[in-house]
Amino acid sequence: MTSLKRSLGPDPYASNVSSKVYVRSTRSGKVQKIVRELYLRQDIPCSSQLCRSCLATAPRDASGILVPFVLSAQPAGTKTYPQGHYIVPDTNALLNALDAFEQTSAFYDVIILQTVLEELRNRSLPLYNRLVGLTKSEEKRFYVFFNDFRLETYVVRENGESINDRNDRAVRKAVEWYARHLTQAVKAAGGKVKKVPAVVMISDDKENLIKAKKDGIDACSLQEYVNGLENADQLLDMVSAAKEWRETQHAKVAENLYQEYFSVSKMMTGVKNGTLHQGIFNVSPYNYLEGSIHVPAFDKSLLILGRESINRAVQGDVVVVEVLPKDQWKEPSTKIIEEETMNKDENADAEEGEAVITEKERRALQEEVKKVHSKSTEGRPQPTARVVGVVKRNWRQYVGHIDESSVSQTAKQSRKQQTVFLIPMDKRIPKIRVRTRQAGEIMGKRVLVTIDSWDRDSRYPAGHFVRSLGEMETKGAETEALLLEYDVQYRPFPKAVLDCLPKEGHEWIVPPSMDDPGWRGRRDLRGLQICSIDPVGCQDIDDALHARPLPNGNYEVGVHIADVSHFVKPNNAMDTEASIRGTTVYLVDKRIDMLPMLLGTDLCSLKPYVERYAFSALWEITPNADIVKSEFTKSVIKSREAFSYEQAQIRVDDPSQKDELTNAMRTLMMLSKKFKQKRMDAGALSLSSPEVRVEMESETSDPIDVKTKKHLDTMSLVEEFMLLANTSVAAKIYEAFPQTAMLRRHGAPPKTNFEELANQLKVKRGIDLRVSSSKELADSLDRCIDPKEPFFNTLVRIMATRCMMSAEYFCSGTQAYPEFRHYGLASEIYTHFTSPIRRYADLVAHRQLAAAIDYEPLDASVRSKGKLEAVCKNINVRHRNAQQAGRASIEYYVGQALKGRVVEEEGYAMKVFSNGFVVFVPRFGIESLIRLRDLAEPEPESAFDAENYILTTSGSRDVKVELFDKVVVRISDVKEESTGKRKVKFELVKVVGSK
């Protein structure tokens, strides 16, 4: 028997066709072999402006337009490459130093190979996205060269060659080709060979560099390259510490401080069959050694106590945990543990004898264990868990400042590289070990760093320095820090977005001719007496109102909302940008707009005396505030006046004002009160959160005073009608699009959220807090009155608010109808419709309403459930961030306003721990902690009665603080060491008590 192997025949196209084979595992557990055919081409341009041959063959689009060539004809030179050079980084170089590549001082004319780009995507998606962003920016001249599709640079994987080796070889081959190609191009153009720019491969892989040398390719390591640049120190700091770190660690025999993570498959199997749990890791803001994780399997969160159990997880990471045996269950701590007090004088460079748990920490933990034991009858230990693996790191860039004690005095001046600790502003993030040459320079500044890695043998994560934001406590640096911390997009709008604005700019007017397409389907409401009521100085006026009596004794009331959807069409660059920003962010001295200024403060804004497009909701309402009929229409309006709340209030209260506008406002006021009463009867909550306003000096805009906001009736006037509009629109769009309506819900808080507060009220005041429905809660909150203490009710409301769930946007198809309820407003269905200038959700609601009234067809993007869900998810996050950024901004300015002042104020004990208590001062709307050690020196002895919430101290100072006690505190400002924030510091003057 004979057999032959038939060889593949002489295929004329064989050299142009190749294939790529890999294994794909799908989510459902299928494993597939995937073969992709590659068709190699020769017309992929090198994109150098020196080259003419590529220009001739480069593919053009359907209209014959060529993508302009990116790489400069005269690239910058360095000492080693005076003739100029193009940079070709490999994957490691980008992984380690993308921050450096983003700098504007160096790294121009960079060729990103497809091989590298794809490898980067597999290694780190966030870095990949940043790199793609870089390649799109024109000024940096980054060019993606599809080397795996070009015949000359395509590399076939050899037998037994690993993928990494193959990719390295592909990079070298591409570099080689580029060098040859450019020489030819220059020669063909008659240039001198000396003038040909060098093509330099940058790699951090030693072997790759050696091989490159052998092949005669220009190559150097990242460090070498950066050293040849001007601001080498600054750039070198941006190179990830991870690699160097590992090298130094290997020199010593490193001791592993943390347990190794489980393998991915082990975690996934565990999660699937329920022995392990996956969730997002959260650190307690009071105790950096206590984390919690909410997993779908349990109602209550699992506790993660101690550094060892936390096992290198960082706030926000998606982790997998294992529940610890029952004898290790504990109660959540009643103690405040802050990192800076625990591990004050550590040397960042010292590695020896570093235990994960310092003695002090261990002692703190022991005390807690003791307490659990002593109270075994009463205390309910909570299940604890241990992190066994990280599914996804959610590391971002962190703002913080250098721990001065970690910088050695001698090194302050020198440029020697040293390791310092960076203390992040966010207390939940551990200290980050950063290697830098600029320790002296960046001390006392707000700096931005990223975490690169956290190895088992290192107690703290290692990171690298990105850039400095400026001196601490300067307005610019602090504001930018805030925006970065809360991930607020604050860069100016890109050109693509501005291109979407109407060409007329500020000259744009409502077309005078009613035949204009802009008038199609619009009702002419210019004759109505419409006015707007907003806070002082408001520029982006979203809403305006009118009311007029009807002949039948009823009233016609109209809410007119800026017609933003007329200007922002779905799926253009502006819409995309707005959907990413999600909301306008209000800081004390700054507004970060969701939409460009032109729209927000002019074209959309319902300014007085000019005609504007609007989206109107009109109702016929009886004098008893029953709605007879409602309709929605696009319209053109002309606002008669823009009032501030105060002005409007004065006008309504002034009986001498008898004009039509004031009467309309009085009608609205009368109706709004009735609406409010109805809502309250239905069980709407009136909750409270401390709100203050920072008064600024008008010229320097330095804060001078803090005022609590005063509530005016006109505010609830506007609020009631906005609620009315939102609720009616929600019902309308849900009726039209039951699957895809953009709605807002507020879940009923689980009972357990109120347990603590209910217990506190019962023990301290004998008040029963009933929480089974919002109506009951509202009623029992009304009963929380202390006759001697008028503020007590507000205090309880503030505390109750913190027990609530947060409201969220959702797409109606994802929830069942009963889940639509808005708990706080006691409304069955709700959405946001009234502020499209500053919220993206409203814009979506506008589009859906416009489609529901057959004004325009519904765009696909607001019709797809999946897309809407993604939008909701994003804007929920943005919304929360914006709120937090706003609050943080107020907090900062309150601190600044109090700077250098000492004030004595009344406050209330809001929370009592075993070693301190939290005091809330309503005058400034701030709360702060008073620790035992702040009371007196030395720290007084203390006894904590956890059942009755009483903390008694003795020894150096005798104090008895109970929960809800009125206290007098001396407020001064102090710069907080841990976060570098200027914060108010409270000192206890006396306990007034309240009983």
Partner 1 sequence: MAPSATHQVLLSPAELSYLHTSLSLTPPVRPDLRTANQFRPLVAETNILPGTNGSARICFADGTEAIVGVKAEVEKSRSSYHSYDELDTAGDVDEDDNEGEMGLNEWVELTVEIPGFRDDDPMPVFLAAMLSEALVADVQFARRLYINRRFHWKLYLDILLLSQPLSYPLPLLSLTTHLALLSTRLPKLKSEADEDPLFDDDWEESVFLYPRAPRGAHQRPPVTLLVMAVKDNIIFDPCKEELAVAEAVLAVSVGERVAGDAKEGSMEIDPGKGRRDVRVLAVRTIDPPSRLTHPGIPNTQNTATGGAAPATMEQAANQRETTEEEGVWQPPRGGAQRKLIALMIQRLLEPGGVAEEVLDGLDAVELG
Contact footprint for partner 1 (CB under 8 A)? 1-6, 19, 21-25, 29-31, 33, 35, 157, 161, 163, 263-266, 268-270, 272-273, 275
Round the CA-based radius of gyration of the chain to a whole number and report it: 32
From the list 346, 447, 339, 464, the residue with the least C-alpha distance to 406 is: 346
Element housing 113 (H / E) = strand 110-113
Distance CA 173, CA 63 (A): 34
Residues pairing with 634 in the sheet:
522, 615
**Smallest gap, in angstroms, from Cβ of residue 324 to partner 1?**
17
**Smallest gap, in angstroms, from Cβ of residue 165 to partner 1?**
11
Residue 342, exposed/middle/buried by CB under 10 A (0-12, 13-18, 19+)? Answer: middle
**Smallest gap, in angstroms, from Cβ of residue 270 to partner 1?**
7
CB nearer partner 1, residue 2 or residue 410: 2
CB nearer partner 1, residue 26 or residue 698: 26
CB nearer partner 1, residue 324 or residue 337: 324
**Smallest gap, in angstroms, from Cβ of residue 229 to partner 1?**
37
3-state secondary structure 536-555: CCCCCCCEEEEEEECCCCCE
CB nearer partner 1, residue 29 or residue 818: 29
**Cβ proximity of 319 and 309 under 8 Å:** no
For the record, the structure tokens of 819 come out as 């889940």
CB neighbour list of residue 841: distance below 8 Å, 6 or more residues apart: 742, 744, 809, 831, 832, 872, 875
CB nearer partner 1, residue 66 or residue 163: 163
CB nearer partner 1, residue 30 or residue 495: 30
**Smallest gap, in angstroms, from Cβ of residue 23 to partner 1?**
4
From the list 543, 540, 531, the residue with the least C-alpha distance to 617 is: 543
CB nearer partner 1, residue 152 or residue 161: 161
**Smallest gap, in angstroms, from Cβ of residue 1 to partner 1?**
4
φ and ψ of 157, to 5 deg: -70, 130
CB nearer partner 1, residue 31 or residue 350: 31
**Smallest gap, in angstroms, from Cβ of residue 164 to partner 1?**
10
**Smallest gap, in angstroms, from Cβ of residue 121 to partner 1?**
13
CB neighbour list of residue 59: distance below 8 Å, 6 or more residues apart: 43
Distance CA 460, CA 347 (A): 12
3-state secondary structure 354-398: CCCCCHHHHHHHHHHHHHHHHCCCCCCCECEEEEEEEEECCCCEE
From the list 478, 421, 479, the residue with the least C-alpha distance to 446 is: 478
CB nearer partner 1, residue 119 or residue 485: 119
**Smallest gap, in angstroms, from Cβ of residue 4 to partner 1?**
5
**Cβ proximity of 43 and 53 under 8 Å:** no
From the list 295, 324, 326, 284, the residue with the least C-alpha distance to 308 is: 324
β-strands 290-294, 276-283 pairing? antiparallel
CB nearer partner 1, residue 1 or residue 65: 1
**CA atoms within a 13 Å half-sphere pointing along the CA-CB vector of 412:** 11
**Smallest gap, in angstroms, from Cβ of residue 162 to partner 1?**
8
* Long-range contacts formed by 345-354: CB under 8 A, 24+ apart: 345/405, 346/406, 346/421, 347/406, 348/403, 348/406, 348/419, 348/420, 348/421, 348/433, 349/418, 349/419, 351/249, 351/252, 351/254, 354/257, 354/459
**Smallest gap, in angstroms, from Cβ of residue 302 to partner 1?**
20
CB nearer partner 1, residue 22 or residue 39: 22
**Smallest gap, in angstroms, from Cβ of residue 125 to partner 1?**
16
**Smallest gap, in angstroms, from Cβ of residue 115 to partner 1?**
15
**Cβ proximity of 76 and 108 under 8 Å:** yes
CB nearer partner 1, residue 16 or residue 701: 16
User: How far out from the chain centre does Cα 664 lie?
Assistant: 42
Dmax (CA) for the chain in angstroms is: 118
φ and ψ of 209, to 5 deg: -65, -45
CB nearer partner 1, residue 13 or residue 609: 13
**Smallest gap, in angstroms, from Cβ of residue 116 to partner 1?**
18
CB nearer partner 1, residue 23 or residue 65: 23
First to last CA, the chain: 107
Question: Distances from the Cα of 169 to the Cαs of 114, 124, 466, in angstroms?
Answer: 13, 21, 31
CB nearer partner 1, residue 3 or residue 410: 3
Distance CA 920, CA 926 (A): 6
CB nearer partner 1, residue 163 or residue 877: 163
Distance CA 983, CA 929 (A): 11
β-strands 591-592, 611-621 pairing? unpaired
Residue 766, exposed/middle/buried by CB under 10 A (0-12, 13-18, 19+)? Answer: exposed
| Beta strand spans in 859-925 (E) | 903-913, 916-921
β-strands 276-283, 318-323 pairing? antiparallel
CB neighbour list of residue 30: distance below 8 Å, 6 or more residues apart: none
CB nearer partner 1, residue 167 or residue 915: 167
